[in-house]
Amino acid sequence: MSTETATPAVTEPRDVVIIGSGPAGLTAAIYTARANLAPLVIEGEPSSSSDQPGGQLMLTTEVENFPGFPDGIMGPELMGNFRAQAQRFGAEFLTEKVTKVDLSARPFKVYVRDTVYEAKSVIVSTGARSLMLGLEAEQRLLGHGLSTCATCDGFFFRGHHIAVVGGGDSAVEEATFLTKFADKVTLIHRRDTLRASKIMQERALSNPKIEFLWNTVVDDLVGDDRLEGAVVRNVKTGETTTLPVTGLFVAIGHRPNTDLFKGVLDTDENDYLITQPGSSATNIEGVFACGDVQDHTYRQAITAAGSGCMAAIDAERWLEAQH
């Protein structure tokens, strides 16, 4: 028995449909638009944390490491610039969420509610999201003392006492990295053993600037428009204290936004899309992937933008070869 209630409207096949609008997707849009491929960018929905148009930079404040902006630029402004540049060359935007894809035959089908956008090639740039603690205060303080990226934000905490949450390689690596800036880094872990690799553990355990709070979870964050402290609880004793930190880095893992492609595009053991080495090609001809959805190593706006450029060039060459 079919559960379909209406026949979806089907559009004329486009050369390129780009799914996702962070630095990777928007760079792919700029390049494919300038190659006269009239890309359609399905940019996501503003209300959603994982499908946020503009991607993770919309959740940050100042970006100081994007080349070309010697005085820094706000994350949302940077993404606004990317988008305007893509629009200038004719990229079209749809502020909706993709509900389903069918990559089993060409033209590919990208479903947005009851419309099917047909595409000769698809660029997947759906990004990844940082796992968060689930506290109400996180939304208010993200970018205001609360961060998910030590490489991006460590510099702002010179001379401060800050904390990192997590016990894996990310948390331990970030804590060690942050000692370059902070006077003191408290690593807050919910158990009494680290999951991180031995060598990283040893490095952190022997670092005099790192203090460990074992068996401890963060229950709340203090501060209205800037982080002033973290309310922490020892899960063994139940004792609650407020740690007077001005920065808190949440490093409890990331998840790529790959649910749409499960069982269709090849992924690694952590669900990241696999692209061929030195290329943005996936296991399906004509489908390309770029940005954090296929990169769990670098996760930077500039590397995502670089891979978006690769995907655009790969798609353009592939389309050219089809004719």
Q: Which of 251, 274, 249 is nearest to 261 (CA)?
A: 274
Give whole-number Cα distances, 60 to 36, 63, 146, 148, in Å. Answer: 32, 8, 9, 9
Cβ burial, residue 94 (10 Å; 0-12/13-18/19+) = middle
Question: Which string of x and - marks every residue 211-250 that binds ligand NAP (by CB under 6 A)?
Answer: ----------------------------------------
Strands 73-74 and 161-165: unpaired
d(CA 117, CA 92) in angstroms, rounded, equals 13
The SS3 of residue 130 is strand
Among 168, 201, 203, 284, binds ligand NAP (CB under 6 A): 168
Nearer to ligand NAP, 34 or 190 (CB): 190
Among 195, 209, 233, 255, binds ligand NAP (CB under 6 A): 195
Residue in the structure block whose two tokens are 């069982």: 263
d(CA 264, CA 282) in angstroms, rounded, equals 10
CB of 269 to ligand NAP, least distance (A): 9
**Per CB under 6 A, 271 contacts ligand NAP:** no
**Per CB under 6 A, 122 contacts ligand NAP:** no
* Residues binding ligand NAP: number (CB under 6 A): 14
Per DSSP, 302 falls in state H
**Per CB under 6 A, 128 contacts ligand NAP:** no
- Piece of 49-57, 80-88, 164-172, 236-244 that binds ligand NAP (CB under 6 A): 164-172
**Per CB under 6 A, 154 contacts ligand NAP:** no
Among 41, 91, 141, 171, binds ligand NAP (CB under 6 A): 171
**Per CB under 6 A, 13 contacts ligand NAP:** no
Nearer to ligand NAP, 161 or 233 (CB): 233
Q: Which of 246, 295, 305 is nearest to 79 (CA)?
A: 305
**Tokens found for residue 256:** 């790529």
**Given the rule CB under 6 A, which residues bind ligand NAP?**
133, 165-171, 173, 190-191, 195, 252-253
